[in-house]
Chain A
Amino acid sequence: METLFTPFSSFGGGLLIGLAAVLLMLGLGRILGATGILSGLVFTEGGEEFAWRAAMVAGMIAAPGLLYLATGFWPALTVPVSPAMIVVGGLIVGLGASLGSGCTSGHGVCGLSRLSVRSLVAVPTFMATAAITVFLIRHVFGA
Chain B
Amino acid sequence: MKLIFAAITGIVFGAGIALSGMIDPAKVLNFFDLAGSWDPSLAFVMGGALVVTFLGYRLAWRRSAPLFEPRFQIPTSRVIDAKLVGGSALFGIGWGIAGFCPGAAIPALGTGRWEVALFLAAVTGGFFLRRLFARAGIARMA
Chain A residues with a Cβ under 8 A of chain B: 1-35, 38-39, 42-43, 51-53, 55-67, 73, 75-81, 83, 85-105, 107-110, 112-114, 116-118, 121-123, 125-135, 137-139
B29 nearest in chain A by CB position = A134
| A55 B6 Cβ-Cβ under 8 A | yes
Cα A78 to Cα B45 with chains together (Å):
18
Given contacts A64-B18, A109-B53, A125-B92, contact A75 B130 (CB under 8 A): no
Secondary structure of the B side of the interface?
helix
| A90 B2 Cβ-Cβ under 8 A | no
Cα A61 to Cα B117 with chains together (Å):
12
Residues 4-38 of B at the A interface (beta carbon under 8 Å):
4-27, 29-30, 32-37
Cα A122 to Cα B2 with chains together (Å):
31
Secondary structure of the A side of the interface?
helix
CB-CB contacts of B122-136 with A at 8 A, as 1s and 0s?
111111111101000
Interface size of B in residues (CB-CB distance below 8 Å): 116
The residues of B that contact A137 with a CB separation of less than 8 Å are 96-97
Cα A8 to Cα B37 with chains together (Å):
19
| A9 B2 Cβ-Cβ under 8 A | no
| B126 A126 Cβ-Cβ under 8 A | no
Nearest chain A CB to B125 CB, angstrom units: 5
Nearest chain B CB to A131 CB, angstrom units: 5
| A109 B33 Cβ-Cβ under 8 A | no
Nearest chain B CB to A111 CB, angstrom units: 8
Closest 4 CB pairs of A and B: A94-B126, A13-B20, A63-B14, A14-B48
| B100 A26 Cβ-Cβ under 8 A | no
Cα A137 to Cα B92 with chains together (Å):
13
The residues of B that contact A76 with a CB separation of less than 8 Å are 21, 24, 26-27
Given contacts A65-B110, A122-B88, contact A134 B32 (CB under 8 A): yes
